[in-house]
Chain A
Amino acid sequence: MKTRASRPDTAPVAIQLTGVSKHFGPVKANRSIDLSVRQGSIHGLLGENGAGKSTLMKILFGMMRPDAGRIEIGGEDVTLRSVADALAHGIGMVQQHFSLIGKLTVAENLILGRANSGFAARWLQKLDLESAGRRAEELSERLGFGIDPFARCDTLSVGARQKVEILKALWGGATTLVLDEPTAALSPPDAEELYALLKTLQQDGTTIVLISHKLPEIMRLCDRVTVLRDGAVVGEAEIPRAYNAPAEKQALEAQLVRLMIGRNRPEVPSRSSHIWPTVLSVRNLSDGERFGPIDLDVCGGEILAVVGVEGNGQGQLIELLMGLKKAASGSITLEEANITRKTTLQRFQCGMAHIPEDRHGLAVADRMSVIDNASIAFVDGAPFAPTPFWLSRQKRARFAAGVIRRYRVRAASVEAPVTSLSGGNQQKLVVGRELARAPRLMIAAQPTRGLDIGSAAAVHEALIGLRDRGGAVLLLSLDLTEVFSIADRIVVFRQGRIVGETSTADADLDRIGSWMSGIDEETQK
């Protein structure tokens, strides 16, 4: 094992947070958090979505101001009023979502907002892109990134973009790098490369804070991990580089999971036992642009998972299946009925249901009440309206209450706006409402993204329940763990086409990874 530049046990403290608290309305995102990160270490921040990790790091990066608490950087008490303050103190951050402008080159993106010349100079001087490019090249050379500073960002691969994000964070001479879920959008090989890169950075002397809810990632990279739950620190552990026995590692992992979710890992549900005839049959479907043509079949009693790196045609598949976008060619058949030319509403009536990926964008109307949001499943009002001139509020309220009870949604009142529910409960409401359509085919797009483990398990249970009753489920997910735990069959999308198919029982992670990233095709060439 390699010795590190500074073995973190004895290294001085780079960042010290004491009693940091932050609330949003009634929600306490951070409750008196103490965190100390040693110089030159990789410090993991582990917690489920909504545990308060991102909020804490936004406070450290000057994007939010804490309600209470102290921040010390390098032993010095600081007040971070803005991102510029944080950058001046040597903190760089890579956000969960890419913040690059696609139409600009790498160098242009890097110097964006980083002008440190005076006001007059900024308007009068020519932008010195060349020296910026040179500097970018140097930096990328030193770290082994291999990025062309004059390439336009939208021509780069996802992995390369992530590297540019890191370059951007290091640009101002940051000594501490905060990464928020950096591998969320990466395929396994790209993630692998990122891990190696972080190790290089560490040897270079950079302190790294890694926010993640992926335990394996934390176990591999970090020297120390702090576990957050419900906005508070619930545990901290040193991660040894070597274990006396494999059982020791397993014990630590189990302990961390318990800390993170407050209980033991939920059991993996059983596989489908019976396959009914085909429910959805897609032939030669294409949107005339970058998608397709594809053939796809989903049977009753089956959960088919569509996996792939984000943006490889999953969105188009949903839009085409739901009739939100017109198909250029091909046919969609649902239980022997050709629905290719049907409207979205007719597709729902034919037995489709849809849990959208973007909850706030497509699934719920934030300003409306829980009742209204439950009734979105029936925009024609049919079950609640005896005539087109009367929509019974009473029936809608009872329906909403029924969904809440059946799917254990935590809601103070059905009349309150839907935003008074937590994200997990909103999602359970959406799932319940979609299942109330009595669907033959459920299209579930990332149904558990951003949910805590309890809610995610409830959503999985609901989907499995539908499958066991003979329904078909088309699951689109970026989370391979989820796919492996509930799907029966997997198809892999890349650049709008199906590049691989396997049953979960004999699926091989490496193979799926190579399908997703396209390494397969490259080696064949």
Chain B
Amino acid sequence: MTRDAMTAPPSIKKAATGKRQVRMDPEVMADALANDTRQPNGEFVPRLVARFHTMSGSVGGQVLTFMLTIAAALVASVPLIWLAGSDFWLTTTAFFGGALGSGPAIAETLVQMIPLLIAGLAVAVAFHASLFNIGVEGQLLFGGLVAGVVGASLDIPPALLMIVCLLAGMIGGALFALIPALLKAYRGAHEVVTTIMMNFVAVAVAEFAVAPTGPFVAADQPSATDRVPEGAQLPIIWEGTRLHAGLLVALAAVAIATWVLYRTPAGFRLRLMGANQNAARASGISIERQTIIALLASGALGGLAGAVQVLGLYGRFYAGFSPGYGFDAIAVALLGALSPIGVVAASFFFAVLHAGSVPLQAIAGISREFVGVVSGLVVAFVAAQPAVMRLVSNMRQKVVDDTLPNDPPEPQYMSEIATSPEEPS
């Protein structure tokens, strides 16, 4: 061996400290570029399904799980209906008729869906980073307050004001998540504890702001801020109903969240941290920074949900405008299996529950609180999913074992095996 300091090693040049510079083996890079796996003539639908597949397991499986969970919760609530002393058929017709029976009923269901959808996204985004943000309720309240106050006091063109209000709501929600985020990132305080406590702070702040002697209370209405100018409110998109443009905002939020989570480096880092925090740290991700980013994003979505309610439905901030959207949102996110598309379906289901609860009380005489019972059952069945899945896969395995010969056929591999074992002589 010779130690030869004169000859420079055939190395790749040393790294500069530029921000987005690429350090990658050029051979591997060339290899990857040459290896175009795209199939230009593929059918659109299979391609779409394949893409969706990579996001969240198999689509069929997800849909089936979703439907089964809902069905199980509904079936489990049948005996409770009976215990409540009501007729099953009457209850069913009242419930579904009230939620989906007519155009206005559907519109009302969609109105209920909007805050649940955005807040559900908020919870799901935090869950993707393995953070449990129970404080969406508080972020939603505070975001709504900020949006209401900004909308009532700023004097700028209405269209601009609408956008400013939505942004203000998001910033308000994010700020409200900032304290738990900092505590989690730098002091290790568990976000469940801190976000729950922040919920109480939010309620107190909201009540103070619009108390009779509060700084933002309206002259004409107790426990509310002044009205946001008509033009700055979210327009009605279905004449004759209360359905407002918040639905479009919510769907845009779904699209953006999906893109960010699955198609940006930031989303990849967030999901990686959620999947394995230590691996994320070892690969150079700053866990502190990611924790703050994830909770701020979640809080911003929570604030947006509040702002949309204020700007779309009420036109002003009421202290008690949320019947607990932030808590239902947890059930929504779980039922939606944290996928943004799943959250859309789950929030629709919960909206049906809420919208159906009013006729349920009026016609079938079952208390509105019954909705809480059903949503509790949904959460319980979501929690049971892994156990059921394991049971099913065990059963399936057993069937496969019984029908197949001892050795399963060799699966098809993408690459050849380096060292195919020879049988010993």
Nearest residue, chain A, Cβ from B260? A389
Cross-chain contact B276 with A366 (CB below 8 angstroms): yes
Q: Does A413 contact B (CB under 8 A)?
A: yes
Supposing A276-B4, A379-B265 touch, asked if A438 and B25 sit within 8 A by C-beta, the answer is yes
- B1-19 interface code vs A (CB 8 A; 1 in, 0 out): 1111101111110110100
Cross-chain contact B28 with A349 (CB below 8 angstroms): no
B264 neighbours in A (Cβ, 8 Å): 381, 385, 388-391
A372 neighbours in B (Cβ, 8 Å): 268, 271-272, 275
Q: Does B38 contact A (CB under 8 A)?
A: yes
Complex A-B: 17 CB contacts under 8 Å = A67-B401, A273-B1, A276-B8, A349-B21, A351-B14, A365-B275, A375-B268, A394-B37, A395-B32, A398-B37, A403-B28, A408-B417, A411-B415, A412-B413, A436-B25, A458-B418, A470-B9
Q: Does B160 contact A (CB under 8 A)?
A: no
Partner of A382, one of B1, B21, B272: B21
Cross-chain contact B268 with A344 (CB below 8 angstroms): no
Which segment of A23-31, A86-94, A112-120 sits at the interface? A23-31
Cross-chain contact B268 with A348 (CB below 8 angstroms): no
Number of B residues with CB within 8 Å of any CB on chain A: 74
- B23-43 interface code vs A (CB 8 A; 1 in, 0 out): 111101101110111100000
A362 neighbours in B (Cβ, 8 Å): 276, 278-279, 282
A67 neighbours in B (Cβ, 8 Å): 401
Cross-chain contact B424 with A259 (CB below 8 angstroms): yes
Interchain CA distance A65-B33 in the complex, whole Å: 49
Q: Does A327 contact B (CB under 8 A)?
A: no
Cross-chain contact B413 with A324 (CB below 8 angstroms): no
Interchain CA distance A382-B422 in the complex, whole Å: 43
- A246-279 interface code vs B (CB 8 A; 1 in, 0 out): 0000000001001101110000000111111100
CB distance from A312 to the nearest CB of B (A): 21
Cross-chain contact B23 with A437 (CB below 8 angstroms): yes
Cross-chain contact A275 with B424 (CB below 8 angstroms): no
Cross-chain contact A365 with B272 (CB below 8 angstroms): yes
Q: Does A135 contact B (CB under 8 A)?
A: no
A347 neighbours in B (Cβ, 8 Å): 284
Which segment of B136-144, B182-190, B307-315, B404-412 sits at the interface? B404-412
Cross-chain contact B14 with A258 (CB below 8 angstroms): no
Report B261-297 residues with CB < 8 Å from chain A CB: 262-269, 271-272, 275-276, 278-286
Interchain CA distance A436-B9 in the complex, whole Å: 18
B33 neighbours in A (Cβ, 8 Å): 398
B9 neighbours in A (Cβ, 8 Å): 276-277, 300-301, 470
Nearest residue, chain B, Cβ from A302? B1
Cross-chain contact B268 with A391 (CB below 8 angstroms): yes
Q: 10 more A-B contacts (CB under 8 A) besides A361-B278, A393-B262, A435-B25?
A: A23-B397, A276-B8, A300-B9, A345-B284, A398-B36, A406-B31, A415-B54, A436-B28, A469-B10, A488-B1
Nearest residue, chain A, Cβ from B26? A438
9 closest pairs, A vs B, by CB? A381-B265, A345-B284, A470-B9, A262-B421, A365-B275, A365-B276, A276-B9, A454-B419, A344-B284
Partner of B422, one of A31, A262, A388, A458: A262
- B378-401 interface code vs A (CB 8 A; 1 in, 0 out): 000000000000000100010001
Q: Does B416 contact A (CB under 8 A)?
A: yes
Q: Does A167 contact B (CB under 8 A)?
A: no
CB distance from B127 to the nearest CB of A (A): 12
Cross-chain contact B283 with A412 (CB below 8 angstroms): no
Interchain CA distance A75-B331 in the complex, whole Å: 56
Report A464-496 residues with CB < 8 Å from chain B CB: 469-471, 488
A interface residues, Cβ below 8 angstroms from B: 23, 25-26, 28, 31-32, 67, 234-235, 255, 258-259, 261-263, 271-277, 299-301, 322, 324, 335, 337, 343-351, 354, 356, 361-369, 371-372, 375-385, 388-391, 393-395, 397-399, 401-406, 408-415, 435-438, 440, 454, 457-458, 469-471, 488
Partner of B282, one of A356, A369, A403: A356
Nearest residue, chain B, Cβ from A230? B421
Cross-chain contact B414 with A350 (CB below 8 angstroms): no
Nearest residue, chain B, Cβ from A301? B9
Cross-chain contact B22 with A262 (CB below 8 angstroms): no
Nearest residue, chain B, Cβ from A428? B418
Interchain CA distance A102-B175 in the complex, whole Å: 44
Nearest residue, chain B, Cβ from A264? B422
Nearest residue, chain B, Cβ from A299? B3
B267 neighbours in A (Cβ, 8 Å): 391
Cross-chain contact B414 with A412 (CB below 8 angstroms): yes
Cross-chain contact A379 with B272 (CB below 8 angstroms): yes
Partner of A404, one of B4, B401, B414: B414
Interchain CA distance A235-B35 in the complex, whole Å: 44
- B144-170 interface code vs A (CB 8 A; 1 in, 0 out): 000000000000000000000000000
Cross-chain contact B4 with A368 (CB below 8 angstroms): no
Supposing A343-B286, A365-B276, A401-B37 touch, asked if A410 and B25 sit within 8 A by C-beta, the answer is no
Partner of B280, one of A276, A379, A390, A415: A379
